[in-house]
Amino acid sequence: MDADIERILLSHDQIQARVRAMAGEMAEVYAGSEQGLTIVPILSGSIIFLADLIRDLPLKMKIAMVQVSSYPGTATTSQQLEMKSDLGQGLAGRDVLLLDDILDSGNTIRHVQKLIRAREPASLRTAVLLRKPAKAPPDVPVDFVGFDIEDAFVVGYGLDFDDHYRNYPHIGVLRPEMSS
């Protein structure tokens, strides 16, 4: 895999430290939650982020996964949203924390935020590991951000290209010839 990566933007150690700090911020925010916390991770990109984050979050929680894909197959620019699973019941009255790997155009998160709000949670907050500020739209509120990054196509730590590289431990920029 290393040979396919042009350069590393964030090392595994940097990511781990930041995820631990984010868990600390969240633990404070949700310490007084009486409704109970439900984490809604957007699959598949947030799986590694989810797994690391929740083990640093000493709170009672439920996990309700949703699968949305805006980059089907080998596309590296946003395509039409494809919703592969639906949110179950049970978000009403809960403190909901939506989790995604990256905020790019914001279409994915905007869409899922709307679906969650329709289920009348007690609160809705959103956490993303990465944000591309060059594009992040002002109408998509996010409460927790791991890192602001440049506008490049990145892979690793859950982020894929054509479903590859999710297990790459760092976050790096893919060699352009790998996605052409």
| Active-site residue identified among 95, 100, 101, 104 | 104
Is 147 a residue that touches ligand 5GP (CB under 6 A)?
A: no
CB 19 within 8 A of CB 129: yes
Within 37-96, the residues that bind ligand 5GP by CB under 6 A are 42, 45, 70-71, 78
Is 45 a residue that touches Mg ion (CB under 5 A)?
A: yes
Q: How far is the CB of 120 from Mg ion (least distance, A)?
A: 25
Is 158 a residue that touches Mg ion (CB under 5 A)?
A: no
Q: Which residue is nearest to Mg ion (CB)?
A: 45
Comparison of 43 and 54: residue with beta carbon closer to ligand 5GP: 43
Is 146 a residue that touches Mg ion (CB under 5 A)?
A: no
Is 104 a known active-site residue? Answer: yes
> Up-side HSE of residue 60: CA atoms within 13 Å toward CB?
6
Question: Which among 43, 51, 21, 34 has a CA at the least distance from the CA of 95?
Answer: 34
- Evaluated on CA atoms 74, 145, 14, 58, the torsion sign reads negative
CB 144 within 8 A of CB 128: yes
Is 106 a residue that touches Mg ion (CB under 5 A)?
A: no
Tokens, residue 54: 């929740």
What is the Cα gyration radius of the chain? 16
Comparison of 80 and 89: residue with beta carbon closer to ligand 5GP: 80
Q: CB under 8 Å to 150, separation ≥6 — which residues?
A: 9, 132, 134
Q: Which amino acid is at 82?
A: E
103 binds, among Mg ion, ligand 5GP, none (CB under 5 to 8 A by kind): ligand 5GP
**Which sequence positions are flagged as catalytic?**
104
Contact footprint for ligand 5GP (CB under 6 A): 42, 45, 70-71, 78, 100-108, 153-155, 159-161
